[in-house]
């Protein structure tokens, strides 16, 4: 897919405030600081359309972008950010889960996971929650440039093994770097093949 236009539409603090669900939508989620906003920028070939930061917790609202005037891309707040109060974390959680469960036009959720780490409880729990709730999702490993290529591939293989302990089949998996802009075309390809644009 060629990105002809990409524009920021709106930030929403509730799923009810999101743009009318009249177009197919693809959302990006994952732990705070995993690289959601950076990957979106890399994929869209825009330097700073989605706001990024070295400090976790930068994205706190549901951000909608309109791509090629025919689909929505959503940048979601990160889950599991430890340095906010418990009640604030609960609010974030509610915002995210309500959005995912109620957004009728959501075609696929891209769950981002840092390729440098062994499987983390919080990500496995979130992936499990997606499965239990029948949420269509893919797993996107981020920051591959921070590892030697073989190490990144090994980590992905280990992750798959761990998933297969509880899952019968694996979701689609991507290995990406926003920095080097690798793996992003594969994500766009999945978006194209799940919709007739």
Q: Footprint of ligand GTP on this chain (CB under 6 A)?
A: 32-38, 52-54, 56-59, 77-78, 142-143, 145-146, 177-179
Measured between alpha carbons, how far is 178 from 197 in angstroms, rounded to an integer? 25
What lies within 8 Å, CB to CB, of 146 at 6+ separation is 115, 116
> Helices (H), strands (E): how many in the chain?
5, 7
Least separation, in Å, of the C-beta of 117 and ligand GTP? 13
Residues 38-97 that bind Mg ion (CB under 5 A): 58-59
Residue 78: HSE in the Cβ half-sphere, 13 Å Cα cutoff: 26
Q: Which does 108 bind (CB under 5 to 8 A by kind): Mg ion, ligand GTP, none?
A: none
Which phi and psi angles does 106 have, rounded to 5°?
-70, 115
Q: Which does 146 bind (CB under 5 to 8 A by kind): Mg ion, ligand GTP, none?
A: ligand GTP
Q: Report the residue number, 21 or 119, with the smaller CB distance to ligand GTP.
A: 119
Measured between alpha carbons, how far is 190 from 197 in angstroms, rounded to an integer? 12
Q: Report the residue number, 43 or 130, with the smaller CB distance to ligand GTP.
A: 43
Dihedral, 61, 130, 49, 41 alpha carbons, nearest 10: 150
Least separation, in Å, of the C-beta of 161 and Mg ion? 29
Q: Report the residue number, 11 or 195, with the smaller CB distance to ligand GTP.
A: 11
CA distances from 183 to 96, 97, 108, 174 (A): 25, 27, 17, 7
Longest dimension (CA), the chain: 44
Does 108 participate in binding Mg ion (rule CB under 5 A)? no
Residue 194: HSE in the Cβ half-sphere, 13 Å Cα cutoff: 20
Q: Which of 37, 63, 115, 138 binds Mg ion (CB under 5 A)?
A: 37
Q: Which does 143 bind (CB under 5 to 8 A by kind): Mg ion, ligand GTP, none?
A: ligand GTP
Q: Which does 57 bind (CB under 5 to 8 A by kind): ligand GTP, Mg ion, none?
A: ligand GTP
Q: Which does 32 bind (CB under 5 to 8 A by kind): ligand GTP, Mg ion, none?
A: ligand GTP
Least separation, in Å, of the C-beta of 188 and Mg ion? 19
Please give the residue ranges that form the binding site for Mg ion (CB under 5 A).
36-37, 58-59
């Amino acid at each position: 897919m060629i990105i002809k236009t990409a524009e920021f539409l709106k930030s929403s603090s509730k799923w009810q405030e999101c743009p009318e669900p009249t177009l197919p939508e693809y959302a990006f989620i994952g732990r705070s600081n995993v690289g959601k906003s950076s990957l979106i920028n890399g994929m869209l070939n825009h330097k700073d359309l989605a706001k990024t930061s070295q400090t976790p917790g930068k994205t706190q609202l549901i951000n909608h972008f309109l791509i090629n005037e025919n689909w929505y891309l959503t940048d979601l707040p990160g889950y599991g950010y430890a340095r906010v109060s418990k009640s604030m974390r609960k609010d974030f959680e509610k915002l995210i889960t309500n959005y995912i469960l109620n957004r009728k036009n959501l075609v696929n959720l891209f769950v981002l996971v840092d390729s440098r780490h062994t499987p983390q409880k919080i990500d496995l729990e979130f992936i499990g929650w997606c499965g239990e709730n029948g949420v269509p999702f893919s797993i996107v490993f981020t920051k591959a440039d921070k590892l030697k290529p073989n190490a990144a591939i090994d980590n992905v293989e280990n992750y798959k093994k761990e998933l297969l302990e509880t899952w019968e089949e694996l979701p689609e998996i991507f290995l990406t770097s926003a920095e080097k802009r690798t793996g992003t075309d594969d994500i766009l390809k999945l978006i194209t093949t799940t919709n007739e644009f």
